[in-house]
Structure 1
Amino acid sequence: MKTLLAAITATTLALAPSPSPDGLNQSLDPRQPVASGRTVLQAGHVDLGPRYQDNRWTIQVHDGTAVPSVWRQPSEVVLRVRDAAIERVPDDPAYAFLEQTAGTPVYVVPQTQNQDVVWLGWNTQEPGVMASVTRGVTMHLLGVQGPGSVVTYLQSGNLGAPQVLWHSARPYPQPLWVETNTHTHANWIFSKPGVYLLAIEITADLVDGRQVSGRDMLRFAVGDSASADEAFTAAFAGRLPSTGATPPAAAAPARESAAGGPGVGTVALVAAAVLLVALLVWLSIRGARARRRAIDEPEARS
């Protein structure tokens, strides 16, 4: 087995797409369809990313293994990390963040493509996102469920110090800022075989002042023996943290509230109700005074 250190000949940290030999140069067709049906992706180019279509913000999987490329719903995708991904943790203090003993076998989805392993990255290049988002998005890791740990990190092309992005042993949520028109790949390390769920939330501020937010699960079957069927049906058992972002239901239509608070229609209804109550109280007081005068006046004449 190769060591993890030898396996990682990573891309540079330049996040905007530019001509390069590592496959990061791409542009997305606004007409790319959304495919349906369960799919297991175990080799080839795959990206996680937000989409903004018809005033609806979603998280989807861009499947570059299909010809032509398609978008897929995360609930219908299992990312299989085969035994071909097994590497050994190097005897190097720079990788102490993996919290694994040197020589321990781990499953590596590498930052640069291995033709035998699914190549997972993320992009913010969907045309609706690029036209509607102010500067970028925040990708939050909300939780990890699985038999072992998961670590996602970047490493520069000159084998500089690893930059840890997400670590399942750290508190949640774990935010990651990504500018628009970004396409990048990272190293994903799974410490044990089995089924993993990664809860992801992506939020953004739109040019019209609204905030949008969406949540979904990435599903992994790590190792040749892991069950893809189990990964499709697995449910996240824990409670996911709040990021303070607008709930997804309040983020889609343009007519809804921008910050998750009460909308204009709600405020108007509340104001009308307050005015109605005040009017009823005033009429009640006025009626009581009139009745009192009617009683007092005959007594005064007698």
Structure 2
Amino acid sequence: MSTAMTRALLFTGALAASLGLTVTSAQAAPIPLSEGHVDVVDIAYEDGGLELGLHDETTGTPIERDPADVTLRVKPEAETVVPSNPAYSFLGSPGDPVWILPQTNNPDLLYAGWAAHEVPAGVFQGDSVTLRLTAVSGPADVSVYDISGGAPVKRFDSGDGLPDAVNVEAEAHHHTNWAFEAEGDYTLTFRATGTLADGTTVSSEPVDYHFTVG
């Protein structure tokens, strides 16, 4: 390292110290995921507790990621309109724009769901845990719903109040529709709770998942 560069670095550190500042290295940019298979909420039972992560298979090689390191992109190709069918009124008025990651695989978009592969059978009462959406921040409402028998079945909907909850069976894997009513950045906060066979209740920490729409 040159003498001039060394002096510059020492000066920067001294100036920061005199101002009560801390010099830190730049944080890594979030990993953008925009198409392919992803279990947005991956529930695991480890060391006597529940944990939430993100299971990424978008590259074809499964990777467990910290949700804090990931931005889930809802591409412009996800834009559609709210159907005229009243059953979809929770998405907005007929003809309004809505951005949907679909329940069926579209190779141009994220194929998103949740999973509990790492929750063994026989550990929890009812062989299931409860997954809650506890908060949503963003420019508009968010809904998560299945299509069953040709009709939508809501799982989570920030538009009619939170928290909302679903039961997730041990070792389950489920894909669903994720609908966003405006472009922009969203944070969805999830938490999992279960009752062990001995009656003890365990919960994960609340975990934030970040989406960018449009």
Same fold, TM exceeding 0.5?
A: yes
CA RMSD of aligned residues (A): 1.9
Q: Which amino acid aligns with 2:48?
A: N
- More relative contact order in 1 or in 2 (CA 8 Å, sep 6+)? 2
SS of 1:95's equivalent? helix
The alpha carbon displacement at 1:208 in A equals 4.1
Q: Which structure 2 segments of 5+ residues have no match?
A: 1-27
Comparing 202-211 with 192-201, greater Cα deviation is found at 202-211
- Which amino acid is 1:175 matched to? A
**Equivalent in 106, 111, 128 of residue 136 of structure 1:** 128
State the partner residue of 2:82: 89
- What is the letter of the counterpart of residue 216 of structure 1? V
Of 169, 180, 192 in structure 2, the residue corresponding to residue 190 of structure 1 is 180
1:211 lines up with 2:201 in the alignment: yes
Instruction: Quote how far apart the aligned CAs of 1:68 are.
Output: 2.5
Matched, 1:162 2:155: no
Of 63, 70, 74, which residue of structure 2 is paired with 1:77?
70
**2:113 and 2:175 in contact (8 A); partners too:** yes
Aligned length: 184
Within the candidate set 13, 35, 42, 1:49 is matched to: 42
Report the equivalent of 2:107.
Answer: 115
Please say if residues 100 and 177 of structure 2, whose CA atoms lie closer than 8 Å, have aligned partners that are also in contact.
yes
Inter-CA distance 129–37: structure 2 relative to 1 (3 Å threshold):
farther
Q: Determine the C-alpha separation between the residues in 1 that align with 2:38 and 2:212.
A: 15
Greater per-residue strand proportion: 2
Counterpart for residue 199 of structure 1: 189
- Higher Rg: 1
Measure how far apart 1:56 and its partner are: 4.1
Which structure dedicates a bigger proportion of its chain to helix? 1
Indicate conservation of the 8 Å contact 1:60/1:71, yes or no.
yes
Runs of 4+ in 1 over 6 A off after TM superposition: none
Displacement of 1:57 in angstroms is 2.4
